[in-house]
Amino acid sequence: MALAETVRTPQLYLQGLSRWRPIEIAFWLATLLPYWLAPDYLSLASQIAITALFALSLDLILGYAGIVSLGHAAFFGIGAYTAGLLSKYGWGEPLTGLAAAAFTAAIVGYATSFIIARFRHLALIMLTMGFGLLLGELANSAGWLTGGVDGLQGIHTWNLLGYFHFDLYGYTAYGYSLAVLFLLFLGARRLIHSPFGLALRGIRENWTRMPAIGAASRTHIQMIYTISAALAGIAGALLSETTQTVSLDSLSFERSAELLVMLVLGGAGRLYGGLVGAAIFMVARDQFSGIEPQYWYFWIGVLLVVVVVFMPNGVLGGLAKLYARWRGR
């Protein structure tokens, strides 16, 4: 190993870091399994894919740039309402709905990024939470537009690509959500292995050193925050298009908090952490709420404590450590 590394050029070494590993290919192939193994659960699978995309968007800012957000549902909700309203007022084409949602969320993300980029740590948590609550109440009070607590009614999503009908069982919904998740994941993966991705890791690893190497950290943060907002908006739009409804809880504080829980469960800063975390969380919720409908949060609490105590870097961090130990033998 050591010999191989001295022979390799630095360029080839860096190239090797972004190589596709077999486990990644296996992971994506496994996402197709629900079609055969659990055809009754395709609606759940579709929601998992959407939540995974949402978690991926949080991972980009939290896991890579170290920006903790407790208000990321704001962008999810903006995306959901954008696509929902478009559809309600006559334009139910799903792909352009996603684009419109991404655009609107990105605009709001960019506007708030000027404030976000000036703060760190606890102040950020308060700020993002503040933005989230503010937007939630705005949507609540603007009942004429959003439908208020009754939710947005009258959404009709057209056939995907003019052909695939959004069926009751979720065949189209899951395929659609999964395809969008996969494509955007590819984009995020490219971004992480780019010079910009390296700069984000620099911000996470040492915020104070960045200016001393001449880095424009604030511009970097504004850029990734905007990108992350767009991804969250797309996730929100996917939910409103596949469920053909939008409710206020799409931008609630609970959604933001749960998202953070999922990312911590799965492991932040690994791209796949949010995906795995979303799957564990949603399946656990589905199972626990079946057993004990009233107290299922109890079990989520247990799960969170156990994971954080035994695997401080999430499930994926724990697995990576085990693997390293096994390989070390």
Partner 1 sequence: MTPALSTRGLAKSFGSLIVARDIELSLPQGARYALIGPNGAGKTTLINLMTGMLAPNAGQIFLGEDDITALEPQERVRRGLARTFQINTLFPGLNALEAVTLAVAERRGIAQQFWQNVATYKETIEEAHDILVKLRLGDSCYQTTRELPYGRQRLLEIALALATKPKVLLLDEPAAGVPPEESGDIFEAVASLSGDLTLLFIEHDMHVVFRFASHIIVLVGGGIYAEGSPAEIAANPGVREVYLGTRKHG
Question: Is 216 one of the binding residues for partner 1 (CB under 8 A)?
Answer: yes
- Token pair recorded at residue 314: 């999430």
User: Would you give the binding string for partner 1 spanning residues 52-71, x where CB under 8 A is met?
Assistant: --------------------
Contact 302, 290 (CB under 8 A): no
- Closest to 193 in 3D by CA, of 55, 316, 59, 15: 15
Q: In the set 156, 165, 209, 321, which binds partner 1 (CB under 8 A)? A: 209
Question: Is 214 one of the binding residues for partner 1 (CB under 8 A)?
Answer: yes
Q: How far is the CB of 64 from partner 1 (least distance, A)?
A: 11
Q: How far is the CB of 318 from partner 1 (least distance, A)?
A: 17
Q: Which is nearer to partner 1, 222 or 242 (CB)?
A: 222
Q: Which is nearer to partner 1, 192 or 278 (CB)?
A: 192
Query: According to CB under 8 A, which residues from 178 to 197 bind partner 1?
Result: 190-191, 193-197
- Counting other chains too, the contacts that 17-22 makes at CB distance below 8 Å and 24 or more residues apart are 17/193, 18/189, 18/193
DSSP state of 271: S
Q: Which is nearer to partner 1, 18 or 287 (CB)?
A: 18
Q: Which is nearer to partner 1, 191 or 319 (CB)?
A: 191
Q: In the set 201, 245, 284, 303, which binds partner 1 (CB under 8 A)? A: 201
Contact 137, 252 (CB under 8 A): no
Half-sphere exposure of 89 (CA within 13 A, CB side): 8
User: How far apart, in whole angstroms, are the C-alpha atoms of residue 263 and residue 271?
Assistant: 10
Q: In the set 68, 99, 210, 319, which binds partner 1 (CB under 8 A)? A: 210
User: How far apart, in whole angstroms, are the C-alpha atoms of residue 157 and residue 141?
Assistant: 26
Q: Which residues pair with 152 in a beta bridge?
A: 246
Question: Is 220 one of the binding residues for partner 1 (CB under 8 A)?
Answer: yes
User: Would you give the binding string for partner 1 spanning residues 140-179, x where CB under 8 A is met?
Assistant: ----------------------------------------
Question: Is 230 one of the binding residues for partner 1 (CB under 8 A)?
Answer: no
- Closest to 155 in 3D by CA, of 74, 75, 90, 106: 90
Q: How far is the CB of 73 from partner 1 (least distance, A)?
A: 25
Q: How far is the CB of 39 from partner 1 (least distance, A)?
A: 38
Q: How far is the CB of 72 from partner 1 (least distance, A)?
A: 20
- Token pair recorded at residue 304: 């969170």
Q: How far is the CB of 106 from partner 1 (least distance, A)?
A: 14
Q: How far is the CB of 40 from partner 1 (least distance, A)?
A: 40
Q: How far is CA 2 from the centre of its chain?
A: 37
**How many beta carbons lie within 10 A of that of residue 227, not counting itself?**
21
Report the residue count for the chain.
Answer: 329
- Closest to 299 in 3D by CA, of 314, 307, 278: 307
Query: According to CB under 8 A, which residues from 5 to 44 bind partner 1?
Result: 5-6, 10-15, 17-18
User: How far apart, in whole angstroms, are the C-alpha atoms of residue 275 and residue 239?
Assistant: 16
Question: Is 120 one of the binding residues for partner 1 (CB under 8 A)?
Answer: no
Question: Is 94 one of the binding residues for partner 1 (CB under 8 A)?
Answer: no
Residue type for position 168: L
Q: In the set 94, 97, 202, 274, which binds partner 1 (CB under 8 A)? A: 202
Tell me the CA end-to-end span of the chain in Å, nearest whole number: 14
User: How far apart, in whole angstroms, are the C-alpha atoms of residue 125 and residue 142?
Assistant: 26
Q: How far is the CB of 200 from partner 1 (least distance, A)?
A: 9
Judged by the rule CB under 8 A, the positions of this chain that interact with partner 1 are: 5-6, 10-15, 17-18, 190-191, 193-199, 201-202, 204-206, 208-217, 219-220, 223, 227
